[in-house]
Structure 1
Amino acid sequence: MSPHCLIAALCLALPPAAALAHPHVYIDAGIKLIHDDSGTLTAFEVEWSYDELYSLLIIEDMGLDQDGDGVLTEEENALIQGFDADWEPGFDGRLYPRADGKPVALEDVRDFTAEYRDGRLISRHLHPLAEPLPMEAPLKLQVYDPEFYVDFSMPEAPVIEGRADCEVELIPGDPSAAPDAYREAIEAVLGSGADPAEADVVTVDIGSAGADEADIRCGPGPGE
């Protein structure tokens, strides 16, 4: 399978039925909140650290690290830049911020970079806000795949850049919640007397079930 096909399966997302009841890719997500001089939130800097198996599949499929030392040459490193940047316009990036309970609109991502370190592919991108956010209301932030093809986790609390008056609380999710939600949906189809074959095409938006959540509260911004 080509790198393009592998990444298309990840970033453009397969239909929910293809995800079945378990993830195929695991990603540790790191988030940085970027504020301007007035303390207004303008963008999220996002880091995705892919699991070792998926990283190895990509590296081998691209014919990189032929000596197997886990270190890419300068030329090889250039080849992985933007390896996961083939996103459809408007793709949400699996980043879901909510301010005062309402979704925060985001622009399309930009500025993709990547590296291969300790057996894992690590990519970064910038996700600007459609409109700057004053951060007057609490912000809740989750990273998840609604179809659960990718299992995202947020192992560390987001980093705040440009303000020193923000409190961040990382609330771990329930790892069993998403597969449980999918299983319950399948059981509901079977219990309704439908043809068992229909269970293979059940459309389930697992949503944020079990996802880690970061709660961010900031005081008055600089100069206010």
Structure 2
Amino acid sequence: MNRIARYLLALALGLSLSPSGAAAHPHVFIDAGLRLNYDDAGQLAEVEVEWRYDAFYSLLILEDQGIRPVAGGGLAAEDAALLAGFDWGPDPSFEGALYLAVEGRRIALQQPRDFSVALEGGQIVSRHRRALSAPIPGEAQTIIQVYDPEFYVDFSVPQMPVLRGRDDCRVDLRPGDSYAAADAYAAALREALASELAAASLVDEEMVTVNIGPVGAPEMRVACGAGR
């Protein structure tokens, strides 16, 4: 189970959600925003990531940490520092919900840096930066997806990514399909539970982890210059 899922599941259990409520997926809704940074050679070198949590889970996180907004609805500097990077951890299997590919080849990303957290309109907004392990030519069509393969978090990308360093790019944003993701999750969960029952193992379905991959994920196709 990834870092976000573990943290938010702990919150849910701590608040004694009913079994029927706890079993529903997804538990968390996040609007993701991206900024693509191109270097002086016109290569895609870095992605700045913003996660805007839904108001309900924002409230749970604040209550869990004993944080109260300051006048005006923001966070005190010490509270913002406390929360910075709260949705990351040392788990090496957590890929950060951000996936880049060129010609079917996965592009490796470095570990995140420059964490920050703000409270805007009652929603926690978490930000970080991910440098590519090696910059890629801007002319190469880059496919960018944002998703949680365990579907604990439902990511959406409501706005086009912002591009910095080039002004000759074409971006095709294809919204995700939460219904397709939910159907895939339900089918995978049924299969997993059937396997557990066949093994005579009694298991809480909330503790079963399934992977639906990129089914229903938002997708952006980006290419610049001659590659458009």
What's the TM-score bracket when you normalise by the shorter of the two chains? Answer: 0.7 to 0.9
Q: Percent identity?
A: 49
Q: Quick one: which amino acid aligns to residue 164 of structure 1? A: D
C-alpha separation between the residues in 2 aligned to 1:95 and 1:220? 26
Q: CA deviation at 1:23?
A: 1.0
Q: Amino acid of the residue matched to residue 61 of structure 1?
A: D
Inter-partner Cα distance in structure 2 for 1:117 and 1:128: 26
Aligned residues: 210
Aligned partner letter, 1:184: A
Alpha-carbon deviation of 1:159?
1.1
Q: Which runs of 5+ in 1 are unaligned?
A: 12-18
1:214 aligns with 2:220: yes
Aligned residues of 1:189 and 1:199 also touching (Cα < 8 A): no
State how far apart, in whole Å, the 2-side matches of 1:189 and 1:78 are.
Answer: 40
In the alignment, which of 22, 30, 33 is matched to residue 33 of structure 2? 30
**Alignment match, 1:9:** 7
The TM-score normalised by the length of structure 1 is 0.81
RMSD: 3.0
The two structures have a TM-score, normalised by structure 2, of 0.79
Q: 1:133-183: per-residue Cα shift (whole Å, max 9, x none)?
A: 112321111110000111111111111110011011111121111111122
Q: How does 1:118-157 map to 2 (within 5 A)?
A: 118-157=121-160
Pairing of 1:193-208 with structure 2 (within 5 A): 194=198, 197=202, 200=205, 203-208=209-214
CA contact (8 A) 2:26 2:153 kept: yes
* Shift of residue 29, structure 1, vs aligned partner: 0.5
Matched, 1:176 2:182: no
Equivalent of residue 106 in structure 2, options 103, 114, 122? 103
Measure, in 1, the Cα distance between the counterparts of 2:8 and 2:45. 27
Give SS of 1:176's match. helix
CA-CA distance at 1:67 after TM superposition: 7.1
Alignment of 1:18-167 (within 5 A): 22-65=25-68, 70-89=73-92, 91-167=94-170
**C-alpha distance in 1, partners of 2:181/2:223?**
27
Alpha carbons of 1:204 and 1:164: their partners in 2 closer, same or farther (altered >3 Å)?
same
Long gaps (5+) in structure 2:
10-21
Structure with the bigger percentage of helix: 2
Letter in 2 for 1:34: N
Partners of 1:191 and 1:123 in 2: CA distance: 37
Q: Rate the CA distance shift 1:57–1:190 in 2: closer, same or farther, 3 A.
A: closer
Task: Report the CA distance shift for 1:75/1:140 in structure 2 as closer, same or farther (over 3 A).
Answer: same
